[in-house]
Structure 1
Amino acid sequence: MNMNIREMRAQLGDTQSEFSARYHIPFRTVQNWETGMRKPPEYVADLLEQRIKEDLTNRKTLSLPKYDPQKKDLPSRSSYVGALSWLQAVRDCIGEPVVFALDNALMCQGNFGGRSDEYIVWVYGDDSVMKFNGVVVLGNRIGAQNIKNRNGLLYTDFNRTVYDALANENILDMQGITEAVSRYFYSNGDSFDGLFVAPEYQDRFERLASDAIEYYEN
């Protein structure tokens, strides 16, 4: 471990409470680590340092962007019949490599049709693409193993899309991912086999799964 716990927390700009909630570590444990009363096991500290480095690279968005007249506008969703043709136009307008995420990834996967008034565009890519209205950058990098390609559109695979939805549910309209997970369940023999959920999001996924099972029943 190259940094102590306090230094790692300071890099994130988190309070002790926020740090505790982010990594599911008891608040008192964080305090004890920082005061030196106790030390985290070396393997825990190394794993935590790795997670923090990833979070510094892929900072979680806390709020949705508001319209800014100083920014450029992307093509309007209502000008296109299909979601894919709209995303292709968005990609061409952005002009930089991006990987579509969340609802936009679901559109590429064919799991969600989107909305006629779609405004938010979720991507992995360079921060410079936020010069366009409606663009939310989830992170600057993403592993190649999580990327799919359809007609030249790069997007996150289904497992990563579910992960991102659970990580960003506080700002995401969950209709799209709920519909997609419901389709997965019923087309997979009434099973979620094949979906891999990070332990820290297991409780959230169980709530999502319950909503998904009931989605087409309501």
Structure 2
Amino acid sequence: MKKRLSLGLLSLSMLSPLPSMADEGMWTLYDLPSQVYQAMCGYGFMLPQGALYSDANAIKNNVVNFSGFCSGVVVSPDGLVFTNHHCGFEAIRSHSTTEHDYMLNGFVAKSYEEELPNENMFVSFMKSQQDITPRLKALGIDNLNKKAQNHLVDSLSQAMTDSVKKLDKTLHVDIDAFYEGNKWYATTYQDFTDLRLVFTVPKSMGKYGGETDNWMW
């Protein structure tokens, strides 16, 4: 069965009126410290820790890497994905014509047949993540210059990708440094390339405030 994803583009902003706290920080869902989870519960978080990453229906399964440069979230069993308006800006522009100016007026598909395909866009779902710091240290990554480090990481990433593609051709592996290079994680993603535009707001709403509202919260 061919899988497809529908794309809804919205203008989203996150404004926080709360002051900065001493226990702030960033962690991966895979490696969330238990003390951080306990602090989250103290602020009112009610889900079990497994619901974030390890459970079959974990939150991570609904979050996507959007075309390698944005994020999105799956909001329906039929594969409807919401992302920010600017993430799909080029897709909207490419489908716009003088007769149907979706950039100016917005767009909504009233049926699957009316959805607009996007050949150069994709979404990636995180399937798993693992700490490969010991493996890279054993390969001497700490003794290499930046160029050699990049070559080592790229080579290992390609080797791991080749391995998982033997099981499923839609999988690939990315290796990234975390915590200023003190940790290295290998993340396995599943890619979906049948991504179709199903809804977008007019540019006057999606780009309201311009780049200032987009990047300065």
Answer 1 or 2: which has greater helix percent: 1
Which interval holds the TM-score relative to the shorter structure?
under 0.3
Answer 1 or 2: which has greater strand percent: 2
Q: How does the TM-score come out when normalised to structure 1?
A: 0.27
Q: Which has the higher contact order (CA 8 A, sep 6+)?
A: 2
The higher radius of gyration belongs to: 2
Q: How does the TM-score come out when normalised to structure 2?
A: 0.27
